[in-house]
């Protein structure tokens, strides 16, 4: 899961990035409001962690601008401002969650996962499609009750596909979800990962839409074994 | 020694009643004197007239054959009045209560008043001298009777006054109480206030005498309220500012705990320590500021500013060098110059200014700290070749927790507030401008040179 972290404090930003990475997130870190807005407009992040006291452009303004632009990604506001009016304003402007500093990393990760899940209309923590169950918190995958070992990228790809089950995702979209900044995207990496996933989880799970991209099927197609 | 009562009402009442009693006593004394004077005049007139009548009668109708005949006692007052008529040295006529010897012995004075003692009583006696046949007449009156009349007169005038006095006292008490009612009402209003209530007292309808006091009180309320508001804001701001370093420490510590990679864990632990240092510095800065704003004036002593600045620059130079910045110090001709100040606070001031210059100038920047005498002033100047400050940012410097946006450095924004406060307690002001030599920011603090 690729998320944007907007935090101007170097120590806190560094800590949050490292901590969220430990929880399996791909983290892009920006340090001012303008960069945050630019990135949110340009990239399909799964979620954003937004500090309010950002230089150049206040977090509230960034949030308002992003929502005006019709970007619906879940935004978790992380702030030192604990006044009830601040919280109300933040939520009214379109924040999905409002967390006060200091925050426990495990809690932050759990809240982010919940936000992402709900933004995809998934009420359950675990995602299920056919005989495959994916647990984002444990970063584990079961097939017919048996654990399946996936690489980090394979897991992220499966996670993205499961969240968007029933929808076609283009290769570019998938690549953007799989790589944070500075990571070299190998050519046909997505194809390679899909190939591995099919090998480990069965070929009926992920369908190729030729010339467009891939789609994960929640229910096994009729007639398929 | 009696103390004046502490209650304003009792004091007023006592004063009023005392004055009333005084006026009453003075009136009584005046009445007494006046009445006695009039009475004396009147009765003396009667005595003289009676004597004159007797003289005239005796001159025209002398009965030498009936010497010493007593005149009848006609009136109940008569015993208090006596007369004697002497003809050629012999007593020819006298009242029953008159002695046989002349009331005024051997008096050569022809006529006039005299007060004499007869049978242990004081008598007012008028002596008259007939022009012919050597007639001498004495008419006397007991003084006690005059006193009795006087008392009667006084009684009739003073009794009503005496009776009126308690009534007056009651009226005065009521009036004083009514007059001081606004005081009590303000007192009640104030004592009923909640400790946090600092809104001004309504001054409408208050007596003029109380306006200055209430105005001063309202002024005090306003100042306390502003002070408390500033305090409250500072506490809130400070708490918020502390949240970020604490959040950083927590995040880094959690990362270190979960990290399996040694290098990454070491990095997180380093960052945890750095976060602790930052929180510590923030707390120290807040304490310094709180102490400075507590208003306690520092003890001023001669301080060699140049020496002090030199040692601070020496202390901070490694930081600048770590950022590949060039830092230089210049105190030509001002090395021995002294200012009156607190060495510890001045060191904090210089450290804050130099630290700011290092932090907010880019790597490879040039920094210059100088101390120079200028007229009667000693000017500390910190310049850099950094980007300087925009006009609005320069104006906002010194606001607590204000930070210039877009800087990579994690400052609290308190350094400026502290520097400004320290300058202020030393009678100096901080001036922010553009450095002519280096092109970046120039900050100046001009101190009064010690003579």
Model confidence at B70: pLDDT above 60: no
Highest mean pLDDT among A133-142, B104-113, B165-174 belongs to A133-142
Q: How many angstroms separate the CA of residue A101 from the nearest CA in chain B?
A: 5
Work out the average pLDDT over B402-411. 54
Exposed / middle / buried, residue A198 (Cβ in 10 Å: 0-12, 13-18, 19+): middle
Q: B432 and B319 in one domain? A: yes
Cβ–Cβ gap B249/A102 under 8 Å: yes
Q: Which of B291, B317, B352 is the last residue of a domain?
A: B291
* A166 touching chain B per CB within 8 A: no
Mean pLDDT is lowest, of A16-20, A73-77, B129-133, B175-179, for B129-133
CATH 3.40.50.2300 residue spans of chain A = 2-119
Work out the average pLDDT over B55-67. 60
Query: For residue B273, what is the domain's CATH number?
Result: 1.10.287.130
| pLDDT band (50, 70, 90) for residue B176 | confident
Model confidence at B249: pLDDT above 90: yes
Work out the average pLDDT over B151-161. 81
Task: Select the residue of B248, B258, B267 nearest A12 (Cβ to Cβ).
Answer: B248
C-beta atoms surrounding B55 within 10 Å:
21
The answer to the question of residue B197 being in a domain is: no
Q: How many angstroms separate the CA of residue B292 from the nearest CA in chain A?
A: 26
Model confidence at B182: pLDDT above 80: yes
Model confidence at A194: pLDDT above 60: yes
pLDDT at B78: 62
Q: B269 and B315 in one domain? A: no
Q: How many residues does chain B have?
A: 451
Q: Which of B291, B318, B333 is the last residue of a domain?
A: B291
Among residues B333, B340, B385, the alpha carbon closest in space to that of B361 is found at: B385
Rounded to whole angstroms, the Cα distance separating B292 from B349 reads: 12
Task: Describe the crossing of helices B262-293 and B414-425 by its angle, rounded to 10 degrees.
Answer: 30
Q: B160 and B59 in one domain? A: yes
Work out the average pLDDT over B173-180. 86
pLDDT at B59: 64
Q: How many helices (H) and strands (E) does chain B have?
A: 9, 13
Rg (CA), chain A: 18
Q: Could you write out the three-class secondary structure of chain A? A: CEEEEECCCHHHHHHHHHHHHHCCCEEEEECCHHHHHHHHHHCCCCEEEEECCCCCCCHHHHHHHHHHCCCCCCEEEEECCCCHHHHHHHHHCCCCEEEECCCCHHHHHHHHHHHHHHHCCCCCCCEEECCEEEECCCCEEEECCEEECCCHHHHHHHHHHHHCCCCEEEHHHHHHHHCCCCCCCCCCHHHHHHHHHHHHHCCCCEEEECCCEEEECCCCCCCCC
Interface with chain B: mutation pick from A18, A54, A98, A107, highest number of B CBs within 10 Å: A18
Chain A residue with minimum CA distance to B405: A55
Among residues A111, A56, A53, A109, the alpha carbon closest in space to that of A81 is found at: A53
Work out the average pLDDT over A132-137. 89
Among residues B195, B191, B194, B186, the alpha carbon closest in space to that of B215 is found at: B186
CATH 3.40.50.2300 describes domain A2-119: yes
The answer, yes or no, to whether the previous bond of A102 is cis (omega within 30 of 0) is yes
**CATH classification (class only), A127-216:** mainly alpha
Convert the pLDDT of each residue in A149-177 to its tens digit: 999 889 989 999 998 888 898 888 888 88
Which helix (DSSP H) or strand (DSSP E) does residue B266 occupy? helix B262-293
* B269 touching chain A per CB within 8 A: no
pLDDT at B4: 65
Share of residues in chain B with pLDDT > 90 (%):
12
Among residues A213, A108, A102, A101, the alpha carbon closest in space to that of A157 is found at: A213
Rounded to whole angstroms, the Cα distance separating B262 from B266 reads: 6
Q: Please answer whether residues A143 and A131 qualify as being in contact, where contact means their C-beta atoms are separated by less than 8 angstroms.
A: yes
Q: Please answer whether residues B49 and B57 qualify as being in contact, where contact means their C-beta atoms are separated by less than 8 angstroms.
A: no
Work out the average pLDDT over A35-40. 93
Share of residues in chain B with pLDDT > 70 (%):
86
Q: Please answer whether residues B418 and B409 qualify as being in contact, where contact means their C-beta atoms are separated by less than 8 angstroms.
A: no
| H-type alpha helices, B116-210 | 143-179, 181-191
* A61 touching chain B per CB within 8 A: no
The answer to the question of residue B177 being in a domain is: no
Q: What's the domain count of chain B? A: 3
Convert the pLDDT of each residue in B262-321 to its tens digit: 999 999 999 999 889 888 888 887 787 777 776 666 778 899 999 999 989 988 888 889
Q: B385 and B317 in one domain? A: yes
Indicate the DSSP class of residue B389.
-
Rounded to whole angstroms, the Cα distance separating B86 from B98 reads: 12
Among residues A160, A159, A155, the alpha carbon closest in space to that of A172 is found at: A160
The token duo for B230 is 């500033």
Query: For residue B124, what is the domain's CATH number?
Result: 3.30.450.20
Q: B362 and B274 in one domain? A: no
The separation between CA B90 and the C-alpha centre of its own chain, rounded to angstroms, equals 84
Task: Select the residue of A11, A81, A106 nearest B275 (Cβ to Cβ).
Answer: A11
pLDDT at B412: 60
The answer to the question of residue B188 being in a domain is: no
Convert the pLDDT of each residue in B1-51 to its tens digit: 456 667 878 888 888 888 888 888 888 888 888 888 888 888 888 888 888
Average pLDDT of chain A is 87
pLDDT at B396: 67
Work out the average pLDDT over B391-398. 68
Q: B340 and B375 in one domain? A: yes
Rg (CA), chain B: 52
Task: Select the residue of B241, B271, B407 nearest A15 (Cβ to Cβ).
Answer: B271
C-beta atoms surrounding B34 within 10 Å:
11
Average pLDDT of chain B is 81
Considering only CB atoms, which chain A residues are within 8 Å of B264? Answer: 18
- Give backbone dihedrals phi and psi of A191, rounded to 5 degrees, phi first: -60, -40
The CB-side HSE value for B261 (13 A sphere, CA atoms) comes to 9
Max CA-CA distance within chain A? 58
Model confidence at B120: pLDDT above 50: yes
Euclidean distance between the first and the last CA atom of chain A, given in angstroms as a whole number: 31
Supply the pTM of this predicted model. Answer: 0.57
pLDDT at B250: 93
So what's the ipTM on this one? 0.74
Convert the pLDDT of each residue in B368-380 to its tens digit: 999 998 888 899 9
Query: For residue B352, what is the domain's CATH number?
Result: 3.30.565.10
Q: B213 and B252 in one domain? A: yes
| H-type alpha helices, B294-342 | 305-322
Q: Which of B239, B271, B291 is the last residue of a domain?
A: B291
CATH 1.10.10.10 residue spans of chain A = 127-216
Strand order in the sheet with B366-374: B326-330, B366-374, B377-384, B441-448, B430-434
Q: B126 and B257 in one domain? A: no
Considering only CB atoms, which chain A residues are within 8 Å of B405? Answer: 32, 55-56
Q: B307 and B245 in one domain? A: no
Q: B116 and B80 in one domain? A: yes
Model confidence at A103: pLDDT above 50: yes
Model confidence at A16: pLDDT above 80: yes
Whole-number Cα distances in Å, A154 to A199, A214, B55: 12, 14, 160
Q: Please answer whether residues A93 and A62 qualify as being in contact, where contact means their C-beta atoms are separated by less than 8 angstroms.
A: no
Task: Select the residue of A9, A22, A104 nearest B259 (Cβ to Cβ).
Answer: A22
The token duo for B244 is 């970020």
Cβ–Cβ gap B247/A103 under 8 Å: yes
> B73 - beta bridge partners?
none
Q: B391 and B254 in one domain? A: no
Model confidence at A225: pLDDT above 50: no
Q: B110 and B75 in one domain? A: yes
Q: How many angstroms separate the CA of residue A189 from the nearest CA in chain B?
A: 26
Rounded to whole angstroms, the Cα distance separating B343 from A153 reads: 61
pLDDT at B295: 63
Q: How many angstroms separate the CA of residue B445 from the nearest CA in chain A?
A: 29
For residue B67, the enclosing domain spans 8-166
């Amino acid at each position: 899961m690729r998320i944007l972290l907007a935090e101007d404090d170097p120590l806190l930003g560094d800590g949050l990035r490292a901590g969220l990475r430990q929880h399996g997130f791909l983290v892009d870190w920006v340090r001012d409001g303008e960069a945050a807005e630019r990135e949110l407009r340009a990239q399909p992040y799964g979620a954003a962690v937004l500090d309010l006291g950002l230089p150049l452009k206040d977090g509230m303004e960034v949030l308002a601008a992003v929502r005006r632009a019709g970007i619906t990604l879940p935004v978790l506001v992380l702030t030192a401002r604990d006044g009830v009016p601040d919280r109300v304003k933040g939520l009214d402007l379109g924040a999905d969650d409002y967390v006060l500093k200091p925050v426990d990393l495990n809690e932050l990760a759990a809240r982010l996962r919940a936000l992402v899940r709900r933004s995809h209309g998934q009420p359950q923590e675990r995602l299920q499609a056919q005989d495959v169950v994916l647990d984002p918190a444990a970063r584990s995958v079961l097939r017919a009750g048996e654990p399946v070992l996936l690489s980090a990228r394979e897991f992220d790809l499966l996670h993205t596909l499961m969240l968007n089950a029933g929808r076609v995702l283009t290769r570019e979209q998938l690549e953007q979800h799989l790589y944070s900044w500075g990571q070299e995207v190998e050519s046909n990496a997505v194809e390679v990962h899909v190939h591995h996933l099919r090998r480990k989880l069965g070929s009926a799970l992920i369908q190729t839409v030729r010339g467009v991209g891939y789609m994960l099927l929640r229910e096994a197609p009729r007639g398929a074994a | 020694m009696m103390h004046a009562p502490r209650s304003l009402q009792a004091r007023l009442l006592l004063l009023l009643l005392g004055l009333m009693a005084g006026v009453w006593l003075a009136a009584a004394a005046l009445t007494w004197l006046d009445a006695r004077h009039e009475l004396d005049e009147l009765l003396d007139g009667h005595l003289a007239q009676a004597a004159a009548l007797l003289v005239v009668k005796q001159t025209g109708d002398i009965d030498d054959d009936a010497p010493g005949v007593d005149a009848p006692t006609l009136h109940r007052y008569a015993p208090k009045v006596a007369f004697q008529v002497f003809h050629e040295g012999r007593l020819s006529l006298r009242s029953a209560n008159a002695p046989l010897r002349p009331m005024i012995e051997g008096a050569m004075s022809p006529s006039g008043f005299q007060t004499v003692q007869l049978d242990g009583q004081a008598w007012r006696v008028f002596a008259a001298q007939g022009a012919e046949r050597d007639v001498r007449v004495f008419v006397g009156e007991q003084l006690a009777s005059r006193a009795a009349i006087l008392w009667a007169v006084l009684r009739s005038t003073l009794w009503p006054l005496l009776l009126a006095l308690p009534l007056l006292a009651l009226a005065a008490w009521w009036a004083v109480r009514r007059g001081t009612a606004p005081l009590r009402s303000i007192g009640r209003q104030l004592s009923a206030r909640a400790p946090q209530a600092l809104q001004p007292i309504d001054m409408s309808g208050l007596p003029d005498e109380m306006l200055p006091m209430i105005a001063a009180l309202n002024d005090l309320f306003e100042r306390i309220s502003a002070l408390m508001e500033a305090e409250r804001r500072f506490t809130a701001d400070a708490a918020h500012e502390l949240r970020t370093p604490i959040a950083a420490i927590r995040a880094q510590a959690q990362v270190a705990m979960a990290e399996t990679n040694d290098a990454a864990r070491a990095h997180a632990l380093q960052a945890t320590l750095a976060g602790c240092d930052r929180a510590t510095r923030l707390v120290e800065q807040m304490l310094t500021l709180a102490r400075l704003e507590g208003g306690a004036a520092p003890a001023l002593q001669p301080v060699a500013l140049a020496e002090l600045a030199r040692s601070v620059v020496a202390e901070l130079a490694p930081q600048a060098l770590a950022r590949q910045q060039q830092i230089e110090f210049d105190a030509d001709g001002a090395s021995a110059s002294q200012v009156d100040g607190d060495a510890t606070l001045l060191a904090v001031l210089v450290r804050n200014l130099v630290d700011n210059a290092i932090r907010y100038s880019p790597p490879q920047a040039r920094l210059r700290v100088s101390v120079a005498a200028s007229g009667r002033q000693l000017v500390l100047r910190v310049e850099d070749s950094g980007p300087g400050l925009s006009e609005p940012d320069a104006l906002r410097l010194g606001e607590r927790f204000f930070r210039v946006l877009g800087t990579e450095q994690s400052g609290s924004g308190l350094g400026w507030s502290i520097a400004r406060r320290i300058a202020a307690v030393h009678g100096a002001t901080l001036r922010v401008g553009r450095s002519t030599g280096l092109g970046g920011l120039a900050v100046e603090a001009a101190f009064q040179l010690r003579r």
